[in-house]
């Protein structure tokens, strides 16, 4: 199945990118593009209460593990094919990406303009492109490589998907 969404990643002409942009979830959230590489973000277009479903995750396609994919099973990865691919990582996330119910859920009260972020190791065991986190959270874990590289104590602070819970149990057994 084809990937139906192109993530505009390296931005030199912000005005042109904004001009061409059509939100995939109008009224719910939208991409705020910034110049440079990997500087864009996804923000809420309205307020959400903690625990509220922001959207169902639909229109995905299975594919290989890559920097844009999301792990949905021990050996399964999908492409989101929507603006959700712009959700950045935070060690103090505002949403969970629940791959069991295929929903994006607010984990704090959100207001319009708030950044939608999730904790990447909540779904990713061993990431395609590890990076160093500068999110500024009190308990920032710094090295974001996937749940495989984090203790169960650290992981217990976060929402985690069932395949990650299973992989952690197997690792620690």
Residues that bind Zn ion (CB under 5 A): 91, 133, 135, 140
Least spacing, CB of residue 149 vs Zn ion, in Å: 14
Least spacing, CB of residue 63 vs Zn ion, in Å: 27
| CA distance linking residue 8 with residue 39, whole number of Å | 11
Least spacing, CB of residue 20 vs Zn ion, in Å: 31
Which two tokens mark 52?
Answer: 């509220």
| CA distance linking residue 103 with residue 106, whole number of Å | 10
Kindly tell me which of 12 and 132 has the beta carbon lying closer to Zn ion.
132
Helical (H) or strand (E) element with 31: strand 29-32
Kindly tell me which of 84 and 144 has the beta carbon lying closer to Zn ion.
144
Rounded to 10 degrees, the C-alpha dihedral 95/161/165/125 comes to -90
Kindly tell me which of 74 and 157 has the beta carbon lying closer to Zn ion.
157
Kindly tell me which of 22 and 139 has the beta carbon lying closer to Zn ion.
139
Least spacing, CB of residue 154 vs Zn ion, in Å: 11
């Amino acid at each position: 199945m084809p990937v139906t969404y192109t993530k505009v990643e390296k931005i030199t002409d912000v005005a042109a990118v904004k001009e061409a942009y059509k939100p995939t979830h109008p009224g719910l959230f939208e991409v705020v593009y910034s110049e440079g590489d990997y500087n864009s973000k996804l923000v809420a277009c309205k307020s959400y209460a903690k625990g509220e479903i922001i959207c169902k995750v639909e229109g995905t396609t299975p594919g290989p593990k890559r920097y844009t994919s999301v792990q949905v099973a021990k050996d399964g990865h999908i492409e989101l094919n929507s603006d959700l691919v712009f959700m950045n990582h935070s060690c103090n996330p505002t949403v969970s990406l629940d791959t069991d119910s295929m929903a994006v859920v607010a984990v704090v009260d959100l207001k319009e303009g708030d950044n939608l972020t999730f904790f990447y190791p909540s779904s990713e065991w061993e990431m395609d492109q590890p990076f160093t986190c500068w999110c500024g959270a009190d308990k920032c874990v710094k090295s974001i490589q996937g749940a495989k590289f984090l203790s169960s104590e650290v992981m217990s602070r976060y929402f985690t998907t069932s395949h990650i819970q299973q992989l952690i149990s197997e690792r620690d057994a």
